[in-house]
Amino acid sequence: MTIMPDVLRIIPQRRSIRVPFDPNRPVSKENLRQILEAARWAPTAHNMQNFEILVVDDKKVLEKVGRIKSRVSEAFIRENYQQLSFSEEELLQKKVGILGTNFPPDWRDPAKLNKAVRESAPSPLNQRIRGSPLLLIVIYDSRKRAPASEGDVLGFISLGCVMENSGLWPSRSG
């Protein structure tokens, strides 16, 4: 018995949804269990299982996490600027990339971008997680490093597998 037909049927259905979660539609316990199970079965280098996933669903803790301030990575914006679209129409036309409609207006002008990002004040995370009924926080354990993995590149690849697996669930229909 081969599972390839099932895998090939499922892969094209995978999507990344980059919108705030609908707070009126919480994640069911069954969907959460399936997400965590999918992450648990992700391949990791040398089966090191170099991660833990914290589920934060307590409203008071979510509020505290939301107050944590952070800066946007200037390097990330610079490296990914060509992939940004500033309208849904532009994103549909490009067929790839990231919708940047939540970015400040100054970030939309390439000539002003570097200075604007550099001078931007740290903003609270609640601007990014608003309305989410829960967060999954993936914690990397550097002590569980694959043998002979300089800089633990294999560990970071493994984390990518964990996050990819946990995103393979029907976010809109499930």
Q: Which domains does the chain have, with CATH numbers?
A: 21-58+135-174 (3.40.109.10)
Across residues 86-103, what is the average pLDDT?
A: 82
pLDDT averaged over the chain? 81
Q: What percentage of residues in the chain have a pLDDT greater than 70? A: 90
pLDDT at 83 over 90: no
- Over residues 16-47, the pLDDT tens digits come to 666 656 777 788 899 999 999 999 999 888 88
Distances (CA, A) of 164 to 97, 117, 139: 17, 28, 15
pLDDT of residue 32: 93
- Over residues 106-160, the pLDDT tens digits come to 777 777 877 887 788 888 888 778 778 889 999 888 787 777 777 778 888 888 8
How far out from the chain centre does Cα 109 lie?
Answer: 25
